Amino acid sequence: MRFDFAARLFTIVFASALPWAVHAAEAAKAPGAKADASSLARGKYLVTIGGCNDCHTAGYAMTNGKVPEKDWLAGDRLGWRGPWGTTYAVNLRQYMQTLTEAQWLAKVKTLETRPPMPWFNLRAMSKQD
């Protein structure tokens, strides 16, 4: 039961964080280009309610979310251990900087990672999410 909860939580978190991270990375790649405020607010909302920071931001869960936004989604050394081995939450900021938005949208269709990452929830998200 504990694994099921952790897997679901992680799925929601990652699924919510990736679109925000992709958007932030795309905005950073284009000099002078700024993401519109509503897109950034939507991304922040998805990251927050999705629990992305719980795994992908060091200390986030332990401090009840009191981690500066500038430190969000930079990965964590805390591992998730289960029958599959140990999985570590990656630095989504660095990862997303290696992909264009089009590359990410193509990748998410075939993405399969180890638990507790909820890759299957990413496939259920809309292109806008």
Dihedral (Cα; 84, 86, 87, 91), 10-degree rounding: -160
Render pLDDT for 44-57 as a digit per residue (tens, 0 to 9): 998 998 888 999 99
Render pLDDT for 10-40 as a digit per residue (tens, 0 to 9): 555 555 566 666 565 555 555 556 778 999 9
Q: Measure the CA–CA gap between 57 and 90, rounded to whole angstroms.
A: 9
User: Are 36 and 43 in contact, with CB atoms under 8 Å apart?
Assistant: no
Render pLDDT for 69-93 as a digit per residue (tens, 0 to 9): 999 999 999 999 999 999 999 999 9
